[in-house]
Structure 1
Amino acid sequence: IAMRFFRFVAFAIGWAVAIVAVAWAFGALYFDFPRIGALAAILFVVILLAAIIFVRGQLLKLAIALGASAIVAGWWLTVKPSNDRAWQPDVSQTGWAEINGDEVTIHNVRNCDY
């Protein structure tokens, strides 16, 4: 009985982590994939749901969800930051620092509210 309970708790924790990972991957695709982010995010979820529905074995389903999220995370880590976007005028310039002795002044700080 204890082993059964332990297995249930382990799967519950695994699925909780997988749900958070899939939600993060959806957001990463939606917001960071150039031009077709919404389509990529929806396709990711549809393909993942199809795999989870048609694959047998709870452990394999969990591995597919975590593996797919890991692939998206791997892609996301390769995305390079860019300054060639259409910035609002008040945050369009990149930051720079001026050093005078022991005093540092930072200019053009992007202080954004999200």
Structure 2
Amino acid sequence: MDVDGPAPADASARPATNGEAPSGAREVDVGEEDTLAGVLRSFVDGVWYPDEPLLRRLRAASCDAAPRLRGASRNSARDLLEWTRRGSGLRAILVISVGARLLDPSHEHGFSCPVY
């Protein structure tokens, strides 16, 4: 088979087997995916530098970060799930126990928020 020759007529209908885009497809630049840490970091960076009044910086940073929160939350959850699945059963127990501890409203020490 000639590697440099023209592609078969039905090549664009088939996806490539090695994870590449099918021939004739446009590449889309997705850029870096947002995570919760990245969104929080960009919010703090937007508020931290005192080049404008504080209220204006808070508003601008909030308007920039708020639309990205949903996607960042999903990406972070997906990353945590993948990390958990790559590990052993002990890693899964760690993730479950830390998550349960953070969500437990009766726990007095930790990061949980009291429910009033």
The TM-score, its normalising length taken from structure 2, stands at 0.30
Greater share of strand: 1
Larger Rg: 2
Which has the larger share of helix?
Answer: 1
User: Taking structure 1 as the reference length, what is the TM-score of the superposition?
Assistant: 0.30
Greater relative contact order (Cα < 8 A, sep 6+): 1
